[in-house]
Chains A and B, each alone.
Chain A
Amino acid sequence: MLNLFFDTYYVASRELKKYFRQKARIVVSFIQPLVWLVLMGNTMSRLTSTGNGSQLFGTSNYLSFMTPGIILMTVMMTSIFSGISIVWDRRIGFLDKLLAAPIKRGAIPFGKMLASAVQGLIQASIIIVIALLLGVRFQTGILGVLLIFLIGAMIAFVFGGISLALASKITTMENLQAIINMLTMPLIFSSSAMFPIQAMPHWLQIIARLNPLTYAVNIMRNLVISGWQTNIIYNILILLVIDFIVMLLVNRVFEKAVSE
Chain B
Amino acid sequence: MFEKAIVVKHLKKIYNSNKVEAVKDVSFDVDQGEIFGFLGPNGAGKSTTIKTLIGLLNPTQGEIFINGLDALKNRNEVRMMIGYSSQALSVDDKLTAYENIYLQGEFYHLNKLEIEKRSKEILTMFELWEKRNDLVESFSGGMMKRLDLAEALIHQPKILFLDEPTLGLDIQTRHTIWEYIRQLRSEYQMTIFLTTHYLEEADELCDRVAIIDHGQILVIDKPSVLKSQIGGDIITMVFQNSQPEIQSFLKKLEGLKQIKNINSLPNGVYQITVKTKGDELIPQLFHQAEKNKINIESVRLKRPTLDDVYLFYTGETIRDTEGSAEGTRGQRMNMAKLRR
Contacts and interface: CB of A to CB of B under 8 A. Distances in A.
- Among A3, A17, A102, chain B packs the most CB atoms within 10 A around the CB of A102
A7 B79 CA distance: 15
A135 B325 CA distance: 53
B107 A93 contact: no
Interface stretch (B81-89, B265-273, B276-284): B81-89
Contacts of A13: 103
B339 interface: no
Interface stretch (B54-62, B119-127, B173-181, B244-252): B54-62
B68 interface: no
Nearest to A99: B56
Contacts of A229: none
A97 B17 contact: no
- Among A3, A14, A90, chain B packs the most CB atoms within 10 A around the CB of A14
A91 B87 CA distance: 12
A171 B326 contact: yes
Given A7-B107, A92-B89, A94-B92, A100 B333 contact: no
Contacts of B17: 260
Given A17-B99, A92-B88, A94-B90, 12 more contacts: A10-B106, A14-B95, A18-B95, A92-B330, A93-B90, A93-B330, A97-B84, A100-B55, A102-B75, A102-B76, A102-B107, A171-B326
Contacts of A92: 88-92, 330, 333
Contact of B90 (A7, A18, A96, A103): A96
A101 B95 contact: no
A101 B107 contact: yes
Interface string A77-93: 00000000000001111
Contacts of B16: 260
A45 B76 CA distance: 60
Interface string B71-83: 0000110011010
A91 B107 contact: no
A101 B326 contact: no
Nearest to B17: A260
Contact of A93 (B82, B89, B109, B325): B89
Interface in A176-225: none
Nearest to B90: A93
A10 B325 contact: no
5 contacts: A93-B86, A93-B90, A96-B86, A260-B17, A260-B58
Contact of B329 (A21, A91, A93): A91
Contacts of B28: none
A21 B106 CA distance: 21
A94 B84 CA distance: 11
B330 A100 contact: no
A90 to B, nearest CB: 8
A172 B328 CA distance: 12
Contact of A6 (B57, B94, B99, B109): B109
A101 B79 contact: yes
A172 B326 CA distance: 7
Interface string A219-257: 000000000000000000000000000000000000000
Given A18-B94, A91-B330, A96 B103 contact: no
Interface in A116-132: none
Contact of B108 (A22, A101, A172, A259): A101
A103 B76 CA distance: 8
- Among A6, A18, A97, A99, chain B packs the most CB atoms within 10 A around the CB of A97
B104 interface: yes
B109 to A, nearest CB: 7
B333 A91 contact: yes
A90 B76 CA distance: 21
B98 to A, nearest CB: 12
A98 interface: yes
Contacts of B92: 14, 18, 92, 94
- Among B90, B99, B326, chain A packs the most CB atoms within 10 A around the CB of B90
Given A93-B90, A260-B58, A102 B80 contact: yes
